[in-house]
Structure 1
Amino acid sequence: MAKVTMKEIADKLNISINAVSLALNNKSGVSEETRKLVLGVAEEIGYLEKSSKFIQSYASKNICVLIRKLYFEDSYFYSKIMMGIVEESRKNGYDILTCMINENEKIIPGCIENKKVCGIIVIGAIEDEYLVTLKEYRIPVVLVDHTSLLESTDSILTDNKLGSFKITKLLFDKGYRNIGFFGDLNYSLSIKERFFGYQEAIKKSLEIDINGNNTITEYIEELSILCNLETHIINQDHKKIQEIIKSMYKLPEAFVCSNDNAAILLINSLKELGYAIPKDMAIVGFDDIALSSLVVPKITTVRVQKDLMGRKAVKRLLWRLDHKSDQNENIVMSVDIVERDSIAIK
């Protein structure tokens, strides 16, 4: 195989060999734009492979974003986080390499294996085992919308528990008493946290009001749908949701949904079954995606600062590059309740 030379890079870009050398060695004398072009071509034609020094120069301005395919298909929530990551990275002179994680494989992307990135941002949940493997490469990692209970890692999180607690309490304040949760607890840590906040509001508000001999747990189980939902939510499968609704022994007066996508699907499914929202049932969501204010009725929800979460992740990663031995932190973003038309006063 013929040896790749600087002249080939220079010829491809129509610049001098000296400019290529300056760019590869991260020295002054060329613009940032030229440096990125040189490193991009050098990577493309295999020049970087011959020198760890040049790989390090290439890696110094690259961030790898890892996301499961399931989350990548969520165009309303995780795409907004991604947008924040991309914009903040560009603002600071970094490029993004996006890699989708296959749920059934444990393959580490080549850009991480070959240390062609200076940091890693993971969007959404990943398994602890995979996270441990990632951290073995000694490249700083920041998690977004997820944290590990076993492996200490910087994380950017939403105050899911408080948000869900407050929106459930809002329903009680409006006079609702039979309130269920609608969300797949196996989908993400965020949904588990939102369910926890809902549970705490139920316990605090209903402990003395439950009729008969039912416990809090029995009350929640009777009124909630907690599993085998996420595929239907992603596909917006009304028929499957209608089948689940029809199978319930008792319908609640209100549902606290795990996110706005779930709330939109539930509203549309109930309307097709002849229910009026909020006259027959109130529905609340979480995330405040754009569609939540466009559907009928407009959805009462919890506003999450999605773009800011992405920006915070980049800022934390860049800080971590200069503070590698400092303690890891969970940074929790505040939330707000947005009251709209999907609830009423009972």
Structure 2
Amino acid sequence: GEPIQLLILFSEAFSSKEEMFYSSAFKRINNLAMTKNIQTSTVLITKEEENKLAIPFANIKADAIIIMGQFSKEYVKEVIKVQPKTVLFDFFYYDLELDSVVTDNYFAGYIATQYLIDLGYQNIGFVGTLNTTMSIDDRYMGYSRALVQANYPIDKKYIVNDRNENNQIIDFKLPSKLPEAFVCNNDYTAYLLIQKLSKASYRVPEDISIISFDDVIYSQISSPPITTIKVSRNDMANETIKLILRRIKNPSIWHRRVTMSVRIIERESVKKEN
């Protein structure tokens, strides 16, 4: 039959070279769509358009929409006026009844931190700016839970901001006194942190250990390569397309949030005998 017209809205804030998680997930969704008789078109939404609640895609025929990269709740509400058959990729809002596919970021933050605790680390910092993205907040909550459970302090001087409120990476500063290890909110930030530490004559992992999230290229090209928490982007793409097809077939069905599990990819940025 007629191909399904699928519109993918991509947030400019998540399209930079640092955010490889989204670009690689986007490729997988596109490739999968081709095999399912789905035609995709993509619109990049700027921060300005988002803030003004502008809808530059109102004239594009879309049987369904995928929103990639976290948009404000107000903006999502405008999108679903245009097309209620909308799936959110990697974020959700508690009070919007929409299908979504998300990483289990809370658990990801927890197992990354627990992995360090199990190796004997006690002073563990966190790199990531809170209240910029849901995934950073959730990873921080998981990090906090592991420390609380172990009766270790969450020391504010070991919490490092890595981006501004527009999700742009800033030139962050190392704390004057360093922890034994850092949990970094993503591989790119970990990659930058390792470079900063090495300029300040600290060796990873001999002097300080680093663990991060996403398993994108930065975790492999880093020196040393970074131990990271991975979610399968192929599986996320599969689930997203499944939700789209389910929603088109039955527009009034109860919404579904699919949470993807994660696993640790061990590389060389964590010292084992602490």
TM > 0.5 = yes
Does 1:223 find its partner at 2:158? yes
Q: 1:176 aligns with which of 105, 117, 121?
A: 121
* Conserved? CA contact 1:300–1:338, under 8 Å: yes
Shift in Å at residue 292 of structure 1?
1.0
Query: Would you tell me which structure has more helix in proportion to its own residues?
Result: 1
* Conserved? CA contact 1:84–1:308, under 8 Å: no
CA distance in 1, matches of 2:8, 2:83: 16
Q: 1:325 aligns with which of 227, 237, 252?
A: 252
Aligned to 1:87: 31
Does 1:278 find its partner at 2:215? no
**Displaced runs of 4+ in structure 1, greater than 3 A?**
226-230
Aligned to 1:257: 184
Root mean square deviation of aligned Cα: 1.8
* Conserved? CA contact 1:185–1:227, under 8 Å: no
CA distance in 2, matches of 1:294, 1:161: 26
Does 1:340 find its partner at 2:257? no
TM-score for the superposition, normalised by structure 2: 0.92
Q: How far does the alpha carbon of each residue in 1:188-220 deviate from its partner, in whole angstroms, 9 at most, with x for none?
A: 111111111101001011x2xx5xxxxx4xx33
CA distance in 1, matches of 2:116, 2:43: 41
Aligned residues: 267
CA distance in 2, matches of 1:333, 1:264: 25
CA distance in 1, matches of 2:223, 2:249: 49
Shift in Å at residue 223 of structure 1?
1.2
Query: Would you tell me which structure has more strand in proportion to its own residues?
Result: 2
* Conserved? CA contact 1:83–1:307, under 8 Å: no
2:269 partner amino acid: S
1:223 partner amino acid: Y
Does 1:103 find its partner at 2:30? no
Shift in Å at residue 114 of structure 1?
3.1
Aligned to 1:54: none
Which region of structure 1 is more displaced relative to structure 2, 252-261 or 96-105? 96-105
* Conserved? CA contact 2:64–2:83, under 8 Å: no
CA distance in 2, matches of 1:71, 1:117: 22
Aligned to 1:77: 21
* Conserved? CA contact 1:122–1:141, under 8 Å: yes
TM-score for the superposition, normalised by structure 1: 0.73
Aligned to 1:68: 11
Q: 1:203 aligns with which of 148, 154, 159?
A: 148
Which region of structure 1 is more displaced relative to structure 2, 192-201 or 99-108? 99-108
The secondary structure found in structure 1 opposite 2:37 is coil
Aligned to 1:299: 226
Q: 2:111 aligns with which of 142, 156, 166?
A: 166
CA distance in 2, matches of 1:316, 1:285: 29
Does 1:131 find its partner at 2:68? no
CA distance in 1, matches of 2:136, 2:144: 12
Q: How does 1:33-48 map to 2 (within 5 A)?
A: none
CA distance in 2, matches of 1:115, 1:87: 21
2:124 partner amino acid: I
Q: How far does the alpha carbon of each residue in 1:64-123 deviate from its partner, in whole angstroms, 9 at most, with x for none?
A: 10011121124521011101110111011111111111112221133xx23611010001
Which region of structure 1 is more displaced relative to structure 2, 193-202 or 303-312? 303-312
Unaligned runs of 5+ in 2: none
Unaligned runs of 5+ in 1: 1-25, 27-56, 211-215, 234-239
Higher alpha-carbon Rg: 1
CA distance in 1, matches of 2:38, 2:84: 15
Shift in Å at residue 261 of structure 1?
0.7
The secondary structure found in structure 2 opposite 1:284 is strand
2:48 partner amino acid: N
CA distance in 1, matches of 2:231, 2:198: 27
CA distance in 2, matches of 1:88, 1:126: 24
The secondary structure found in structure 2 opposite 1:308 is helix
1:108 partner amino acid: I
The secondary structure found in structure 2 opposite 1:232 is coil
CA distance in 2, matches of 1:228, 1:73: 13
* Conserved? CA contact 2:6–2:64, under 8 Å: yes
Change (3 A) 1:126 1:232: closer
Aligned to 1:32: none
Shift in Å at residue 132 of structure 1?
1.1
Aligned to 1:36: none
The secondary structure found in structure 1 opposite 2:44 is strand
Q: How far does the alpha carbon of each residue in 1:222-275 deviate from its partner, in whole angstroms, 9 at most, with x for none?
A: 211146455236xxxxxx33xx11xx2431110000011111110011111110
